[in-house]
Amino acid sequence: MTGIDTNVLVRYLTRDDADQYQRAKAFLEATCTEKNPGYINTIVLSELVWVLKAAYSATKDELVMVLDQILLTRQFEVAHRDAVRAALQDFKQGTADFSDSLIGRLNREAGCAETSTFDQKAGKLDGFHVL
């Protein structure tokens, strides 16, 4: 298994640099298979959402579509897949950022009774407590 960094996914998805897009495409298609998937960790997913939103003005619907597709791609092994899927549902239905949704779900998976925050939007998520 080979880990995939955020910038490889960004180049592949945005095609904003022709050379890097071709290299990312060739790498992903040649290296990531169902038997030997590319590994995407939760930090990469959080960075990906942030970059697509901040630098490419991606809408929430576009972000949800990208994350859904990553989760459905059998050539990717997504860390904490169930927590990511649940965080994506929280993100879809709520007003909190994806990263906050993911933090809450990962904390719950780790056995935390709640996640304390000052973030009012995150505080609306199940399992959060606003200080």
Integer Cα distance of 63 and 91 in angstroms: 10
What per-residue confidence (pLDDT) applies to 131?
96
Q: What is the mean pLDDT of each run of 10 residues along the chain (131 residues)?
A: 97 97 97 96 98 97 98 97 97 95 96 96 93 96
Structure tokens at 81: 């897949």
Q: What is the dihedral of CA 104, 56, 45, 1, to 10 degrees?
A: 180
What per-residue confidence (pLDDT) applies to 101?
96
- Please answer whether residues 44 and 78 qualify as being in contact, where contact means their C-beta atoms are separated by less than 8 angstroms: no
- Please answer whether residues 29 and 38 qualify as being in contact, where contact means their C-beta atoms are separated by less than 8 angstroms: no
Q: Is 90 exposed, middle or buried (0-12, 13-18, 19+ CB in 10 A)?
A: buried
- Please answer whether residues 116 and 129 qualify as being in contact, where contact means their C-beta atoms are separated by less than 8 angstroms: yes
What per-residue confidence (pLDDT) applies to 84?
98
What per-residue confidence (pLDDT) applies to 118?
96
Q: Which of 66, 90, 61 is nearest to 78 (CA)?
A: 66
Q: How far is CA 122 from the centre of its chain?
A: 17
